[in-house]
Structure 1
Amino acid sequence: MRWSTGWYGSRGHDRLPWGGSSVPGLEAAWTINWPAGQVRSAGSDTLAVAVVGECGADDQQLQQGLAAVRAQHWRALTRWPGSYLTVARSGDVLAVIGDLAGQHPVYWRTEVAGTWWSTSASALAALDGAPVDSTALAAHLALAQPDVLGQWSLFRSVSRVPNGHLLLITPEGARTVRYEPTEYEPVDLHDAGPMVRAALTEAVGTRCDGRPVSADLAGLDSTTLACLAAQRGPVAAVTFADARLRGDDLAYAVRTAATVPNLAHHTVLGSPDTVYYAGLEDPSALPLTDAPNAYIATTSIKRSVLETVAGHHTAGVHLTGTAGDAVLSAPSTYLADLLRERQHRRAWQHAQAHARLRHNSAWSLLRRARPAARTDLAGAWRQAATELRRPARPWVPQAQRPMAWTPLLATADWMSCDLRSQLASALDVAAELAVAPARLTSWTDRQDLARLGADTNGWREIALAEHGIEIAAPFLDNTVIRACLPVPADQRGAPTRYKPLLDEAFAQADVLPPFVLTRVTKGGFNALAYAGLRQHAPILRDLLGSSSRLAAAGLITETPVATMLHRAATGQPTAQGALHLAVAAEVWLRQLETAPARWEVTAHVGTA
């Protein structure tokens, strides 16, 4: 697993990370399993900056960044293209800055002599064997929004830096400081188009640095990245195709590859084994991730794609359209914001259009939106806490429940009464501390991105460990997020146009064939999810049954989970998302039991 870590203290430390490499210019900072070309720095000692990851800044720009470090203008160090961690030192002040999408998370723990920081919570927990925090894991399972409990990590004694914050360490101690606004100043869709095109072009260009390039070629988002990369050189474009999928991804991919120079298309044919939940018989055989990871469920599908890529080149970079939906469009929950802002006519017009697409009622959509329009984030958390103290709810599909700032998922109803009560108390405390945007969509956009970023890290571990391929998700870059999210959600998610922001960005750019931009369809994997639930029901029953680590902690109870697995195995409507979360968490807990050592004990060395 790749990670970074460092020490800041008045006295020396007695641990070193196994296999760690010192970060040039920074005392007591190390990277583990990062290639040397992705660890760069400028300055040294008390004025230094280092970036770890895919950073588009050249050496001169890094050197110029020292002026921002000296002035402690930390946000300026997050504006380069790419996805990376920044570590900066100005005198006796150390700033550790992750990205906006959680691909480079930051954690810390304080000891008497100083502070350890790291991009791996599990590594910091391994310093003294700190256990998993059951309440934090309950929040992960029941709420699926990383920032709900703020600085709580999944491990006791380990703190996390919330989204949009940085870690600032001084002789007085460690604290988090917000560097990103909770909401952006609105930018009109038409005005944002050129900025989105420039950000995506630069993000893709940062990865096209001489390595072999491959890319998914499926939906509109991945096709955009593949076509941008093809402007710079050859691209091995891959499309996963399975007869059980009802979609036109393959037809569009073949047509696109025939139209766009430099795209060499390869079809990845599905098989009986390329379904959800395949390969979970032995969790210890899967690459270790720092947190429960959604891609565990789709490992067999991802592996089939990566094997095809590896057959054409090795040690390359693979572009994925992950998070394109999150930044280019918006879910219909923005209707709650329109109602809150008393834009009733616009809310009604949009509800009618959404209802036509879903063969639903506009009135039912607005009824679902009203509760979220009448409260704020803190109020929503108090309501959720009240709900958790009541008996568990009968299951109904999430799409039929009222819209919410932080929806309670079906997994909340599978927990023991004690865990539900603990989570309720934590939500009450969080509500007292909440600093939230005025709009529901501003909150949920950031949470969706943080969740997607963490999950993409899991896919990256699989690709690196098994094939030496680097996964790149340009839609998760800071620069792309900042170009897209200022566009109001009711413009990004307008139901009368499919991904209008992408259309504004590329309609006149001669990058995408016109038939791609006019596409209004999107593939889905539901058939493979249900096939996997049926095919691997015995394995899932074993994972979540009597020997389950989640059950031992009270995070699930046997009867409702068994009922849901039975529904899934018989093809009935199922809480797929909840099962997904539970399986990923169970696999992760079992992996932790056999995780390799992270630290070696040494003599006291180094000071801040």
Structure 2
Amino acid sequence: ATSGPAPALFQSTEVNFEERLMRWSTGWYGEGSGPGRAPGNGRPVPGCEAAWTVGWPADRVRAAGSGPLALAVVGDCGADDQQLGRALERVRAKDWRALTRWPGSYLTIARSGEAWAVIGDLAGQHPVYWRTESAGTWWSTSAGALAALDGAPVDPTALAAHLAFGQPDVLGQRSLFRTVNRVPTGHLLLIRPEQSAAVRYEPAEYTPVNLHEAAPIVRAALSEAVAVRVGDRPVSADLAGLDSTTLACLAARSGPVDAVTFADERLRDDDLAYAVRTAATVPNLAHHTVPGSLDTVYYEAVGDLDRLPVTDAPSAYVVTASIKRAVLDTVAVRTRVPGVHFTGAAGDAVLSAPSAYLADLLREGQHRRAFRHAQAHARLRRTSVLSVLRRARPASRTDLPASWRQLAATLRQVPGEWVPQAQQPVGWTPLLATAGWMSPDVRGQLANALDTAAGHSAGAPRLLAAWADRQDLARVGTETSGWREIALAGHGIEIAAPFLDNEVIRACLAVPADERGAPGRYKPLLAEAFTGTGVLPGFVLSRVTKGGFNALAYAGLTRHAPVLMDLLGSSSRLAAAGLVTQAPVARMLARAAAGQPTAQGALHLAVAAEVWLRQLEAHAASSWWEVGARAAA
């Protein structure tokens, strides 16, 4: 990406994913008797020739049929064996979407004649990647494992897009590794003798359903999502905000739940008060407080990379790892392993909506409704109605491809002074502060990639909210996968995030954003779904407050500023590739130390990416075994 020798990570990548990345799946479809390679410690998937899982428990890999008509699911899938057997008719008909409608979060592998479909989930917890060779196609849920087949390097431009935009689908099928393709959100991988391609199976926008009609569907989907994970395992749950409290109360209807609340006195929120009151009201909830300490701050874990598991993509949870470990330590003391721990991750993304939906109301000519909503948002933000509408108006006059072309033009200019995101115009793809930290060469390459992406954006949603919702979910799904690796590697605990399940996403996002995000009520969809059901106490459903971690973020930034400056300084792998430059990072860290507004999200992304690159470099090995006479990579 820049002149001079590139760091090793941008030359070759061979990571020991069978040891470091605990769970992944892979398969080969092509000519001859076999691919000549198999994943280390891989277990064949029943009924699916040349497909394996690595690290998945046997009861989480189930199948029906074999040969030219086969179906397998990997993960938490609510379909029983009889349902899987009946679903073979849907496989025969190539009705792929029908195979994604069961409760839970799982990967689907299906064969109908010569056609194979590999289907991840809508939130990227089971991502799908592929690469083609002359004799066939490899697929995997791990991009790094596919890169390790021949040492394919990290793609600096794709990593730049990850840092600058935070929206996984901006560059479409481009993964973080060269020669490795990714299946975008809402698509599946369809492998046929003539080609392998990503094919859309989920509509870009859902047919609108009003909030009242959607409420019982949301309640049923969320209840099933929790029930499918409980079983006979020990259950624990976060008990903090409205989202996690809902999951804890649903789980408690099936049996005992160890509920934990992280209660650092620096947070100054009311999560603990609500948690104590909820546990005293709801049967089967045993409440435990996790006190904060000097070490439970952001960035505490980045000084010791050996204690962090290698993930397949940069994970924002490396920033908050010490806080998550404190919670998991408390859970581990009180439950036997392996247990399942529920988190409310993605609740905000599906149950509410950012004020960007105002741009859609203006686009559709609903000016009176837009004005009423803008008034309410202005009161919440203590600003004027005019300023709220001015932020939304530019996005209402453009579409996704045009916005990317405008963004490309901005990237070719000299970066200006940093302005907090809340003060910038609403955008289809907001440009994060990290974009201003990159070298001109990298910004130019990223601009070129954006122009290319704009020319291949057919099928993009018409509404900004539809695009933003999906991207938020894909981002949260990837981050939650990182937390799952931390929990499994360090504690043997399963992380369950039901708000990321396909059916929960579909039920919630069918409600228009202006109904989910109406500022007059806090998460009205959840209240409509559970009021009068006895699942949640009334005082929980009427809650209008939400905790935040800003105090711990600033405490971590202040305490670990020297570590972060060294991490992102002259020896940084990101710096060697031109993905960050030292001066703007130093200025941003100085702002944080002074208690001034800071681009926290941008710093999180940069730190997580730097940690990821260093881990890939430090744990070089091969993920594949040689099979037969063919040489392994």
Partner residue in 1 for 2:183:
161
Q: Does 1:575 align with 2:617?
A: no
1:358-507 aligned within 5 A: 358-434=381-457, 435-507=459-531
Q: Does 1:348 align with 2:336?
A: no
Query: Which residue, out of 155, 160, 173, partners 2:195?
Result: 173
Partner residue in 1 for 2:285:
263
Question: What amino acid is aligned across from residue 524 of structure 1 in structure 2?
Answer: G
Question: What amino acid is aligned across from residue 481 of structure 1 in structure 2?
Answer: I
CA distance in structure 2 between the partners assigned to 1:6 and 1:282 by the alignment: 34
Gaps of 5+ in 1: none
Partner residue in 2 for 1:540:
564
SS of the equivalent of 2:116 reads strand
CA distance in structure 2 between the partners assigned to 1:513 and 1:376 by the alignment: 43
Query: Which residue, out of 602, 617, 623, partners 1:598?
Result: 623
Q: Please report the TM-score for the alignment, with normalisation by the length of structure 1.
A: 0.99
Q: Does 1:322 align with 2:361?
A: no
Instruction: Compute the displacement of 1:602 (Å).
Output: 2.4
SS of the equivalent of 2:393 reads helix
Instruction: Compute the displacement of 1:119 (Å).
Output: 0.2
SS of the equivalent of 1:311 reads helix
CA offsets, 1:341-364, max 9 Å, x none?
110000000000011111111110
Partner residue in 1 for 2:17:
none
CA distance in structure 1 between the partners assigned to 2:87 and 2:111 by the alignment: 12
CA distance in structure 2 between the partners assigned to 1:543 and 1:570 by the alignment: 20
Partner residue in 1 for 2:358:
335
Q: Please report the TM-score for the alignment, with normalisation by the length of structure 2.
A: 0.95
1:284/1:590 contact within 8 Å kept: no
CA distance in structure 2 between the partners assigned to 1:421 and 1:362 by the alignment: 37
Query: Which residue, out of 256, 259, 269, partners 1:247?
Result: 269
Q: Does 1:56 align with 2:78?
A: yes
1:460/1:470 contact within 8 Å kept: yes
CA distance in structure 2 between the partners assigned to 1:100 and 1:338 by the alignment: 26
Gaps of 5+ in 2: 1-20
CA distance in structure 1 between the partners assigned to 2:128 and 2:481 by the alignment: 14
CA distance in structure 1 between the partners assigned to 2:359 and 2:306 by the alignment: 44
Q: Does 1:307 align with 2:332?
A: no
CA distance in structure 2 between the partners assigned to 1:170 and 1:372 by the alignment: 40
CA offsets, 1:190-220, max 9 Å, x none?
0000000000000000011110000000000
Query: Which residue, out of 202, 205, 216, partners 1:194?
Result: 216
1:52/1:85 contact within 8 Å kept: yes
Query: Which residue, out of 202, 206, 213, partners 1:184?
Result: 206
Question: What amino acid is aligned across from residue 494 of structure 1 in structure 2?
Answer: A
1:57-76 aligned within 5 A: 57-76=79-98
Partner residue in 1 for 2:317:
295
Partner residue in 1 for 2:26:
5
Q: Does 1:38 align with 2:63?
A: no
Instruction: Compute the displacement of 1:604 (Å).
Output: 5.0
CA distance in structure 1 between the partners assigned to 2:215 and 2:304 by the alignment: 47
CA offsets, 1:403-431, max 9 Å, x none?
00001100000000000000000100111
Query: Which residue, out of 579, 589, 592, partners 2:613?
Result: 589
CA distance in structure 2 between the partners assigned to 1:551 and 1:140 by the alignment: 15
1:16-165 aligned within 5 A: 16-165=38-187
SS of the equivalent of 2:301 reads coil
* Residues 221, 285 of structure 1: alpha-carbon distance in 2 compared, 3 angstrom cutoff: same
CA distance in structure 1 between the partners assigned to 2:235 and 2:474 by the alignment: 26
Partner residue in 1 for 2:552:
528
Instruction: Compute the displacement of 1:455 (Å).
Output: 0.4
CA distance in structure 2 between the partners assigned to 1:100 and 1:481 by the alignment: 8
CA offsets, 1:567-598, max 9 Å, x none?
11222211101100000000000011123431
Question: What amino acid is aligned across from residue 157 of structure 1 in structure 2?
Answer: T
CA offsets, 1:141-176, max 9 Å, x none?
000100000000000000000000000001112011
SS of the equivalent of 1:184 reads coil
SS of the equivalent of 1:275 reads coil
Instruction: Compute the displacement of 1:272 (Å).
Output: 0.4
Question: What amino acid is aligned across from residue 25 of structure 2 in structure 1?
Answer: S
Question: What amino acid is aligned across from residue 37 of structure 2 in structure 1?
Answer: R
CA offsets, 1:70-124, max 9 Å, x none?
1110000000000000000111111000000000000000001110000000100
* Residues 604, 439 of structure 1: alpha-carbon distance in 2 compared, 3 angstrom cutoff: farther
CA distance in structure 2 between the partners assigned to 1:604 and 1:55 by the alignment: 37
Question: What amino acid is aligned across from residue 217 of structure 1 in structure 2?
Answer: L
Question: What amino acid is aligned across from residue 526 of structure 1 in structure 2?
Answer: N
Of stretches 98-107 and 352-361 in structure 1, the one that deviates more from structure 2 is: 352-361
CA distance in structure 2 between the partners assigned to 1:599 and 1:546 by the alignment: 34
Partner residue in 2 for 1:215:
237
Partner residue in 1 for 2:5:
none
Question: What amino acid is aligned across from residue 265 of structure 2 in structure 1?
Answer: A
Question: What amino acid is aligned across from residue 26 of structure 2 in structure 1?
Answer: T
Instruction: Compute the displacement of 1:284 (Å).
Output: 3.4
Instruction: Compute the displacement of 1:393 (Å).
Output: 1.7
SS of the equivalent of 1:108 reads strand
SS of the equivalent of 2:628 reads strand
What's the Cα RMSD here? 1.0
1:110/1:116 contact within 8 Å kept: yes
1:284/1:594 contact within 8 Å kept: no
1:510-525 aligned within 5 A: 510-525=534-549
CA distance in structure 2 between the partners assigned to 1:284 and 1:536 by the alignment: 18
1:85/1:98 contact within 8 Å kept: yes
Partner residue in 1 for 2:533:
509
